[in-house]
Amino acid sequence: MQRFSNFVILITLLSIAPFVWSFNSIKVGYIERAPHIYANADGSVRGMTGKTLVSLFRRANVEVEMISTDQEDISSFIKTPSLDAFITTQTLIINPNNFVYSAKPLFSLQFYLYHLKSEQEIQTLSNLTEVSITLPLPLTAIKGPLKEHIINPKNSISVVADGLSLPSQFAMLRNEKARYAISYLGESNAAMTFSSGFDRGDINVSKLFVLPMYLVIRRDNPNADEIMSKINLAND
């Protein structure tokens, strides 16, 4: 009789396991930014930042399906009803009251400014004025403080070319087609990314600004607060 009771308890626990698992399961959208975070062919996440996020969700005991997109598609991506959450900047969320935010950024994206050694070093975004620049992404795909600063006519910034790889940006600098190049690739990242080698040579680099990236969960998810509480605890 005791064995039968134990068997019944085991079957009961197994039968409710899927419910408990789905309670802690969310689909999270993110923007691919190689080499920091990007997707394998099978959809799994690569990059140092990607691995850090996978480890964080594991510590939080939350099952996460990571779904990638490009910067150009982020606006429509956020409106996708099948996604429970996003890793994004706070500036991209139009209706913040409809989301639950992580207490701290999950990671921060550092932007760099490259220029010839003959050019003046600029270390803050506010000081980037009256210059010509190149961008790693199409200007139409950039949102938030960077785009606002670039398009502000008072800053007199000319975008010579956008959507360029870092080597192409370097070529624009050396050919004096642009004075500065903005990139989210630092020197160490670039060296790992370019198989042909990375020669900065006559080009200097400085840190321009940091973009904190938060996890935001749709508030209409009935478990949003509890799931975020687990993630905040793991991210503390």
- Pairing mode, strands 131-134 and 157-161: parallel
pLDDT at residue 2 greater than cutoff 90: no
Shared domain for 102 and 61, answered yes or no, is: yes
Shared domain for 101 and 216, answered yes or no, is: yes
As a whole number of angstroms, the distance between CA 75 and CA 86 comes to 11
Q: What does the pLDDT read at residue 43?
A: 83
Shared domain for 102 and 115, answered yes or no, is: no
DSSP designation for 4: H
Name the H helices within 60-186: 74-78, 145-151, 166-174
Which domain, by its residues, includes 226?
Answer: 2-107+212-234
Shared domain for 169 and 225, answered yes or no, is: no
**Domain with 65 in it: what CATH number?**
3.40.190.10
| Terminal-to-terminal C-alpha distance of the chain | 48
- Using pLDDT thresholds of 50, 70 and 90, give the confidence band for residue 154: very high
- Using pLDDT thresholds of 50, 70 and 90, give the confidence band for residue 40: confident
As a whole number of angstroms, the distance between CA 134 and CA 19 comes to 50
Alpha-carbon Rg of the chain, whole angstroms? Answer: 22
Find, among 170, 159, 64, the residue nearest to 117 by Cα.
Answer: 170
User: Token pair of 141, please?
Assistant: 């795909």
pLDDT in tens, 199-231: 667 899 999 999 899 999 999 999 999 999 999
As a whole number of angstroms, the distance between CA 222 and CA 165 comes to 42
Q: What does the pLDDT read at residue 208?
A: 93
As a whole number of angstroms, the distance between CA 216 and CA 90 comes to 9
Shared domain for 147 and 53, answered yes or no, is: no
Q: What does the pLDDT read at residue 69?
A: 76
Long-range pairs for 18-23 at CB < 8 Å and ≥24 separation?
A: 21/63, 23/223
What is the helix (H) or strand (E) element at residue 112, kind and residue range? strand 107-116
- Using pLDDT thresholds of 50, 70 and 90, give the confidence band for residue 8: very low
Q: What phi and psi, each to the nearest 5 degrees, are found at residue 62? A: -120, 125
Q: Which residues are CB-contacts of 139 (< 8 A; sequence separation ≥ 6)?
A: 147, 150, 151, 159, 162
Shared domain for 157 and 67, answered yes or no, is: no
Find, among 128, 204, 121, 134, the residue nearest to 169 by Cα.
Answer: 134
Shared domain for 96 and 151, answered yes or no, is: no
Mean pLDDT of 146-158: 96
As a whole number of angstroms, the distance between CA 104 and CA 209 comes to 18
CB of 214 closer than 8 Å to CB of 101: yes
Number of domains comprising the chain: 2
Kindly report the CA angle at 141 between 154 and 218, in degrees rounded to 5?
110
Shared domain for 194 and 228, answered yes or no, is: no
Of 157 and 10, which is predicted with more confidence?
157
Of 151 and 187, which is predicted with more confidence?
151
- Using pLDDT thresholds of 50, 70 and 90, give the confidence band for residue 102: very high
pLDDT in tens, 15-36: 444 433 345 689 998 988 878 8
Q: What does the pLDDT read at residue 73?
A: 60
Shared domain for 9 and 56, answered yes or no, is: yes
pLDDT in tens, 172-192: 999 999 999 999 888 766 554
- What is the pTM assigned to this prediction? 0.77
pLDDT in tens, 45-95: 988 899 999 999 999 999 999 988 766 666 666 667 788 998 988 877 778
As a whole number of angstroms, the distance between CA 163 and CA 217 comes to 30
Shared domain for 60 and 18, answered yes or no, is: yes
Q: How many CA within 13 A on the CB side of residue 177?
A: 13
